[in-house]
Amino acid sequence: MNTRNSRRDFLGLAAAAVAGSSLLPGRLFAQSAADKPALLGGTPVHAGGWPAWPEWRQAWEPAVLNVLRSGRWYRGTGEQVPQFEAAYAKLLGARRCLATASGTTALMVGMHVLDVDAGDEVIVSPFTFIASYNAVLANKALPVMADTDPETLTIDPASIESRITDRTRAIMPVHIYGMPCDMDPIMAVAAKRRVAVIEDACQAWLAEYKGRMCGTIGDLGCFSFQNSKHLPSGEGGAITGNSDDLLDRCASFHDCGRPYGGFKGARPYFTRGGNYRMQHFQAAMLVQQLEKLVQDTARRRENADRLTASLEEIPGIHPARLPENSRAVWHLYPFRYEAEKFQGLPRDRFTRAMRAEGIPCSTGYQEQYFDGLLDEAIASRGYKRLFGAQRLKDYRDSFQALKGNRQVCETTVAMTQNLLLADGAAIDHVAAAIRRIQAHGAELARV
């Protein structure tokens, strides 16, 4: 590391932070590079907190109360869920949308409709929230891990085809942290090998890839509206798509197998189904937040660009690369951390030092395929029957080959989306804190 340059850069940023402090009453700022890191007794670079999440507006309350007072709480009656479905489809440019109870159930319904059956395989992004794996397991299929591209943190399209077998029914790219996967090569391999694509867009509301919204590119797209999400209703989800047939089948399966649109039979319950319905309360919350979602997304993007520009200047900090002509929505803002450029400061000490500076951040997803959940599944009676011992052994061994994903799991640091709703001066504290920690890496490593 060139310490002299880093210090000079830091002084400039710290000065900018101090100059900006009048805009942010109540927040404390670093005065110079000589300041000790907060973990060593210095004053935190950022104090005063960050925007809270979720945000609720009083003006939205009557619509929720109307649902309460109407007594029309069941999805089969009432207007709020269909209204939300129409508005969300329009916002995304999708032909259809079906609201569901959660993102997990959206994925489960979607995979059922795409004919993912017991004993099938689904190629999954390994760097994801555990629900992506769980949804495949719920359909008694095997989540086969493709590798992760360390530069993009999303599925490496080049790692998909070699994992396709005669049992593969679908590919599940995950637009993790709201960063679009490189969909063109994924769609090409899916078309070539005749498998479906179900996009896990549970963190990617309004993310764009080459002029199209994530969740509208594959056969089906799935979203989550859980409390931490950019469009929250406590719980909730949606499936989007452009095929009436597939969406009719989704609507039917999510509603006990009742006939829907063109999907009907001679008897009332002619097909399998479950109850994966959304409530009108949730829809009333969601529909009112759509405009805010658009505004918040623009703000997060603006701040993420500002943050990326400042982080790219710091040796050992690597912001993610997005596919060409795509726009992320930053459910989390990640970067890869190179400890060697921080005088050997281990990543967990770095995140601790950052939190002490008032910048909440954490390590990203771990190598969850070693965490026991998949071992439990493949040791079960059902999986042994469905796949046989040799396939399950090869499957377990295959996790060792996920080198890109291992690198990502070992080096990623991420900040949650609410930070990106702060003002620009506060965003600059992130780089200022990192530079300060970098200048004291060796001391911090000894703490």
* Interacting residues toward ligand PLP by CB under 6 A: 102-104, 128-129, 131-132, 174, 200, 202-203, 224, 226, 237
Minimum CB separation of residue 200 from ligand PLP in Å reads 5
Distance, in Å, from the CA atom of 33 to the CA atom of 48, rounded to the nearest integer, reads: 21
Minimum CB separation of residue 353 from ligand PLP in Å reads 27
Distance, in Å, from the CA atom of 268 to the CA atom of 386, rounded to the nearest integer, reads: 31
Other Cβ atoms closer than 10 A to 76: 9
Minimum CB separation of residue 134 from ligand PLP in Å reads 8
Minimum CB separation of residue 130 from ligand PLP in Å reads 8
Q: Which residues contact 62 (CB under 8 A, 6 or more apart)?
A: none
Minimum CB separation of residue 433 from ligand PLP in Å reads 26
338 token code pair: 């190179």
Nearest residue (CB) to ligand PLP, 46 versus 230: 230
Distance, in Å, from the CA atom of 283 to the CA atom of 85, rounded to the nearest integer, reads: 8
Say if strands 168-172 and 196-200 run parallel, antiparallel, or are unpaired: parallel
By the 8 A CB rule, do 323 and 152 touch? yes
281 token code pair: 């309360």
Minimum CB separation of residue 207 from ligand PLP in Å reads 12
Minimum CB separation of residue 215 from ligand PLP in Å reads 12
Nearest residue (CB) to ligand PLP, 168 versus 226: 226
Nearest residue (CB) to ligand PLP, 361 versus 432: 361
Other Cβ atoms closer than 10 A to 48: 13
372 token code pair: 């026991």
Nearest residue (CB) to ligand PLP, 150 versus 232: 232
Q: Tell me which residue has its CB nearest to ligand PLP.
A: 103
Nearest residue (CB) to ligand PLP, 131 versus 425: 131
Nearest residue (CB) to ligand PLP, 126 versus 316: 126
Nearest residue (CB) to ligand PLP, 215 versus 323: 215
| Residue environment code for 324-345, b if the CB has 16+ CB neighbours within 10 A, otherwise e | eebbbbbbbbbbbbebebbbeb
